[in-house]
Amino acid sequence: MYYSRRSLLQASSAGFGMLALKGLLADEAQANGKRVIFIYCNGGMTHTDTFDYKPEMIKQDGIDDPVSKGRKIVKPKVPLTPAGESGIQISELFPELRKYADDLCLINGMKSKSGNHNQARQLLHTGNFQFTRPSMGSWLLYGLGTENKELPGFITIDAGIGPENYGSAFLPAIYQGTGINANNLNNAIPNLKSPIGMVSQRQNLDLLYDFNNMRLQDTENSRLQGLIESYELAFRMQTSVPQTIDISKESPQTLAKYGINNKTTAKFGKQCLLAKKFSEAGVRFIEIGHNGFDMHRDIHVNIAKKANEMDKPIAGLIQDLKDCGLFDDTIILFGSEFGRTPGFKEGATGRDHNNGGFSMWMAGGGVKGGQRYGSTSEFGHKAVEAIDIHDLHATILHLMGIDHTKLTYRYSGRDFRLTDVFGNIQEGIIA
């Protein structure tokens, strides 16, 4: 996880293939982004009830679904109304988030190649669902390195999804996501607690240093030097990491900001607060997972419940990032692997999978807020002004100052990219 310039250089000469140096990858455009916080709604969030305002649904509520036979169009129960100065329509299910409407770029024209959870999820995370590929976070970390050598550069906080989504695949393992369990912060990162106490451990490490150092006859033995450094860093991490993730010393105001003082919002609020703390500490990519969006049943009740759990914490996160000056170089990405059908099946109380069109939103560093970008057909079935996953990835990399066509890794005789041979940067999203 820690890789000094030296060990990286050594690592690459030992067969890591190409090393991404920012200078060579640099995009021509001025990029603000230093880190990404990805709020992932697992299961396929309904877009028409939340961020994709479809007036025709309201007008024609109850008609036979013209696209998908056997369904009837059902309008959102809670209306989407204009918010902020920009007046973009956001569901009233999110009263707190609405206050930041002018910061949000609603991406209404998303589409995915798969309507199957696992595949679509993998596509969203890795750009591919046929093969095992590195995760978006791994690519970013590989491209930009880390700002804090004492923390993993790619962290998932209760992601609730399989490792195929945050693995490093053929990239070296240091680029994989490290899972953090927000409910057990005492043991958030494995092996961080010394069972023999720091004093004895220091004595152990001193002797270890002597033994290793005796063998350092060869001043060019960078691997042994790297090893010696790795123990010293590990020793320091034992105190620095718990400090970073300690939320017990946060003020009541801060806790309230994230809704951690409230039962409904406490769990997700804690995840958001941790995301902010990791941002502050220099982590490159942070994913927060929230489950339960696969609402085939009782969608109106359930989406209200989910919105309730998330609304306050997300608004708190945005405000807190602003307060400490991190908002302008943090890219927040919010969304799901796909959306949901505008119609209900006969007798059903929920919506089914809809990958032809759905919504995500972005905010923060370099994102042009207060707008709807892309669009779906009149009821939201299909993306009309479409943005696919590769476009999304290309745009995020661009916002982070990386040209997605240049961020490559040699494996199996060819150069791989997060965006494969696809991806168009969506200029309209960029401020």
Partner 1 sequence: MKIAYVIIFSILTTSAFAQEAGVKFFEQNILPVLQTQCYSCHSSKAKDVKGGLALDTRLAILNGGDGGPSVVPGKVDESPLFDYVESGDMPPDNPLDKQTVELFRKWIKMGMPDNRFKHENRQVELKQARDFWSFKKVRRPPVGKYDGDIIDGIVNEELSKAGITPVEQANDYILVRRLYFDLIGLPPSEQQTRQFIQGKKDTRYEELVDNLLDDDGFGEKWGRHWLDVARFGESSGQDRNLVSPYAWRYRDWVINAFNNDKPYDDFIIEQIAGDLLPHRNYIDYNNNRVATGFLTIGTKNIQAQTKQFEADRNDDQIDVVTRGFLGMTLSCARCHDHKFDPFSQKDYYGVYGLFDNTENLDGLYRGNNNTGYVGDYEFLVNKETEDLYKKKKVDEWFLLCDIKNLEAQIESIKTWNKRATEQQIERELKKREKELEEAKAKLSEGYIEYLEFLEPVMSVRDKKQMKESKLAIRGEVNNLGEEVPRRLPEVFSDRPNLNFDHTSGRFQLATWIADRTNPLTYRVHVNRVWRHLFGKGILDSFDNFGILGGEPTNIQLMNYLSSQFVASRFSNKALIKTIVMSDAYKRSSDFNEKNYASDPDNVLLWRMNEKRLEAEQIRDALLFVSGKLDESHKNISEFQTDIRRPTKELTKYIQDTMSRSIYIPSLRDNKIEILDKFDRPDNSLLAAERNVTTVSTQALYLMNNPKIIMMCREMAAKIWKRNMMMGKTMPSLLYRNNIYHVFNTLLGRPPNKEEFDKAMAFYLKGTEEAETINLVNKKGEDGEEFVDYQTKVDIKKKNEIMEKNLANLIQILICTGEFRNVL
Q: Which of residues 66-95 bind partner 1 (CB under 8 A)?
A: none
Residues in contact with partner 1, shown as a per-residue x/- string from 133 to 162 under the rule CB under 8 A: -----------------------------x
* Interface with partner 1 in residues 203-242 (CB under 8 A): 203-205, 207-208, 210-212, 214-215, 217-218, 220-221, 223-224, 226-228, 230-231, 233-235, 237-238
Q: How far is the CB of 287 from partner 1 (least distance, A)?
A: 17
Residues in contact with partner 1, shown as a per-residue x/- string from 2 to 41 under the rule CB under 8 A: xx---x-xxxxxxxxxxx-x--xx----------------
Q: Please state the three-class secondary structure of 248-263 as a single string.
A: CCCCHHHHHHCCCCCH
CA distance 398 to 191: 36
What is the helix, strand, coil percentage profile of the chain, to 5? Answer: 40, 20, 45
Residues in contact with partner 1, shown as a per-residue x/- string from 343 to 372 under the rule CB under 8 A: ------------------------------
Whichever of 172 and 364 has its CB closer to partner 1, that residue is: 172
Spatial neighbors of 338 by CB under 8 A, at least 6 apart, are: 44, 112, 114, 115, 120, 353, 354, 355, 358
| Total interface residues for partner 1 by CB under 8 A | 83
Residue 422 within binding range of partner 1, rule CB under 8 A:
no
Whichever of 115 and 428 has its CB closer to partner 1, that residue is: 115
CA distance 350 to 359: 18
- What sign does the CA torsion over 361, 367, 370, 374 have? negative
* Interface with partner 1 in residues 99-128 (CB under 8 A): 116-119, 122
Spatial neighbors of 377 by CB under 8 A, at least 6 apart, are: 67, 357, 383, 384
The SS3 assignment for 353 reads strand
The distance in angstroms from the start CA to the end CA of the chain is 33
357, 111 in Cβ contact below 8 A?
A: yes
Whichever of 85 and 207 has its CB closer to partner 1, that residue is: 207
Residue 164 within binding range of partner 1, rule CB under 8 A:
yes
Tell me the window of 36-44, 74-82, 313-321, 411-419 that interacts with partner 1 (CB under 8 A).
411-419
